[in-house]
């Protein structure tokens, strides 16, 4: 996967003057799911620091019951506390994993920072074991840098 070829489209989405931020985030999710074969569920969670919870934002993929996740719970909740990327090559081997679907085999979560504060994250599930590389991490960090300009 040549992620460099995808970067201009991400920038174009975030810079689109006629779309709301919600529409931009949804379009990014759709773009990623359509252009990266192993990105089967793509979504954003946003932090409420007062309640120490994450709240589901725009996403594409199978419906999820996990619309609110406490900090520390599951992969997303751990990223809310650690402020670090978390790659799970095989969710079956992960102790603190919130199962979304039996089809999910791996997950990557990359925090979203605005002015140095972790305001949320991009969360991606895959139906493939161990598809995520350092290149995915760097690309998703770029995606989040672009998304951060919306806030």
Query: What's the CATH number where 63 sits?
Result: 3.30.450.40
- Token pair, residue 98, equals 């919130």
Residue 4 falls inside a structural domain: no
Residue 92 falls inside a structural domain: yes
In angstroms, the Cα distances linking 35 to 28, 31, 67, 103, 108 are 11, 6, 25, 20, 17
Residue 71 falls inside a structural domain: yes
Residue 9 falls inside a structural domain: no
pTM: 0.95
Domains in the chain, number: 1
Compute the average pLDDT of residues 98-118: 88
Residue 136 falls inside a structural domain: yes
Burial of 118 (0-12, 13-18, 19+ CB in 10 A): middle
* pLDDT tens-place string over residues 7-46: 999 999 999 999 999 999 999 999 999 999 999 999 999 9
Residue 131 falls inside a structural domain: yes
Residue 91: give the domain boundaries.
Answer: 20-148
Percent of the chain with pLDDT over 70: 95
Residue 139 falls inside a structural domain: yes
User: Angle 7-15/134-148 helices, nearest 10 degrees?
Assistant: 20
Residue 2 falls inside a structural domain: no
Phi, psi for residue 45 in degrees, rounded to 5: -115, 145
3-state secondary structure of 107: strand
């Amino acid at each position: 996967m040549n992620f460099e070829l995808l970067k201009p489209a991400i920038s174009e989405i975030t810079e689109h003057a006629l779309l709301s931020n919600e529409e931009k985030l949804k379009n990014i999710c759709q773009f990623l799911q359509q252009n990266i074969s192993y990105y089967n569920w793509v979504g954003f969670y946003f932090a409420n620091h007062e309640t120490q919870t994450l709240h589901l934002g725009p996403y594409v993929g199978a419906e999820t019951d996990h619309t609110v996740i406490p900090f520390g719970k599951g992969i997303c909740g751990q990223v809310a506390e650690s402020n670090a990327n978390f790659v799970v090559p095989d969710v079956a081997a992960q102790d603190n994993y919130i199962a979304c679907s039996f089809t999910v085999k791996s997950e990557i979560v990359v925090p979203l920072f605005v002015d140095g504060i972790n305001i949320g994250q991009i969360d991606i599930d895959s139906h493939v074991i161990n598809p995520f590389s350092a290149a995915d991490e760097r690309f998703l960090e770029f995606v989040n840098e672009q998304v951060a300009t919306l806030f």
